[in-house]
Structure formats: C-alpha cells, structure tokens
Structure 1
Amino acid sequence: MTYEEHLDEVTTLITEKYDVADQAAIKMVMRAQADDFFSGHDDNPAICTLDRAHLDARAVYRKYR
C-alpha cells in the first residue's frame, strides 16, 4: 500500500480497535506524522503493510491519546 493508504489504514484501525471517533483518530495520526513517527514509511514504502499498520495503530494510540 502507499504511504497515504497506510496512514488511512492506521486511522481506521484506531477507530475500530479503540472505539475512538474519526476526528480524534485523525488528529492522533496527524500529530504522529508531525512528530516524524511515519518518516521511515515515506522513505521505504515496503514497510507500509497491513501488519505494520496494526502495530502503528497501537503505538500511535498509546502515545497520542
């Protein structure tokens, strides 16, 4: 998946797994992106996988909730 698709998937997983409203999940992902949490993903699209999206969703939720 592309970098943008990965961010969308992480956002969706946060809403589904942690019962977070869409806008709140978007804000979490945007904050993580601003903190360069996803900088490696943009440089190496090969790590933009569904398995990685699950790991990223958990990490972003824990850090930015």
Structure 2
Amino acid sequence: MSYEEHLDEVTTQITEIYTVEDEEAIRMVMAAQADEYFSGHDDDPSICTLARAGVDARWVFAHYDRQGRRKKPK
C-alpha cells in the first residue's frame, strides 16, 4: 500500500480498535506524522503493510491523546 493508504489504515484501525471518533483519530495520526513518526514509512514504502498499520495504530494511541497532543510519560 502507498504511504497515504497506510496513514488511512492506521486512522481506521484506531477508530475500530479504540472506538475513537474519525476526527480524533485523524488528529492523532496527523500529530504523529508532524512529529516524524511515519518518516521511515515515507522513505521505505515496503513497511506500509496491514500488519504494520496495526502496530502503528497501537503506538499512536498509546502516545497521543484524542486532541492530538503527545501524552506525558507515566
């Protein structure tokens, strides 16, 4: 899948796994993208897989709140 499709899939998985609204999931993914979490994906599209989208969805949800702010470490 393309980089853009991968970001869409990460967003979709966040909404499905965590019952997050679309707009919230989009904010979370956009914040992670702005923080360059996905920069390796853009450089190497071979890592843009369905399985990796699940890993990325869990990572993004663990590190960003529904407003797209980075969560503070506990």
TM > 0.5 between the two?
yes
Larger Cα-atom Rg: 2
Could you tell me the percent identity over the aligned residues?
A: 68
Structure 1 ranges of 4+ moved more than 3 A: none
Q: Which runs of 5+ in 2 are unaligned?
A: 66-74
1:14 to partner: Cα distance: 0.1
- What residue number does 1:30 align with? 30
Q: TM-score, normalised by structure 1?
A: 0.99
Q: TM-score, normalised by structure 2?
A: 0.87
Q: Give the alignment's Cα RMSD to 1 decimal.
A: 0.3
Q: Deviations along 1:14-64, whole A, 9 cap, x unmatched?
A: 000000000000000000000000000000000000000000000000000
Q: Distance in 1 between matches of 2:8 and 2:55?
A: 14
Q: Distance in 2 between matches of 1:22 and 1:50?
A: 19
Secondary structure in 2 matching 1:20? coil
Q: Which runs of 5+ in 1 are unaligned?
A: none
